[in-house]
Amino acid sequence: MQVELLYHTPDPERAVATAARLCYAPIGAAELLDSMTEQQVNKVLSTIMASGHFSALEHGSYTFAVDGVSRALTHQLVRHRIASFNQQSQRYVAYKEGLNVVKPQTVSAQSETDTIFDEAINAALTAYEKLLEAGVPAEDARYLLPNAAETKIVITMNIRELLHFFTLRCCNRAQWEIHELADRMLELARPTAPYIFLDGGAPCIRGNCPEGKMTCGNPFPKVSRV
């Protein structure tokens, strides 16, 4: 899996603080953006993060490039509807020279299951290639391709949705592959806005686990902004 932060809103914490402060300021947003001190920015951020007034977070956005993940992952990813996605198309990209796949460790850990997996992938790919050779369009031959097929995707989320994504997918109960993706995205985002993303991640970082009897039983230490 390769995850790269392509770009983000310049100085996202100042942008968010400007949007939030405008509601109560007699001056315009451009003047606020230039005139607020770092102390004032942090004070505004502290207020909105503590109060739950997260609409201002929507004024900052992040775009990530993700390669080498499975279609099983992206089927989960696109359920986050307040986001923008562009994904490598199996309709227009024909895999005539082989197909890379993502193999779960639970499969590769045993020689028997590893062999079963490889044989199924090879059979599907052989059939796929035969359909292409027979003149079947790639958009129809792709019906044979497995969820394990590697893909590439570009993801854009505003900060509010990004924090929500981290809350759901950094949890230990999230599926392992999307959990890894969320962890890597958080690692890239946090240095750009350390105050906003300070307690980004699984909800147990901010307090009690909401999973009830489904809890993993191994919560993170609680993080405080104070």
Give the tens place of pLDDT for each residue, 95-121.
887 889 999 999 999 999 999 999 999
pLDDT of residue 225: 56
CA distances from 24 to 8, 44, 184 (A): 26, 11, 36
Active site residue 169: yes
The answer to whether 35 touches 26, Cβ cutoff 8 Å, is no
What is the chain's alpha carbon radius of gyration, rounded to the nearest angstrom? 22
pLDDT in tens, 78-101: 999 899 999 999 999 888 878 899
Query: What is the pTM assigned to this prediction?
Result: 0.90
Question: How many residues make up the chain in this entry?
Answer: 226
| Assigned fold of 2-85+150-201 | Gyrase A; domain 2 (3.30.1360)
- Residue from 81, 169, 190, 225 carrying the catalytic annotation: 169
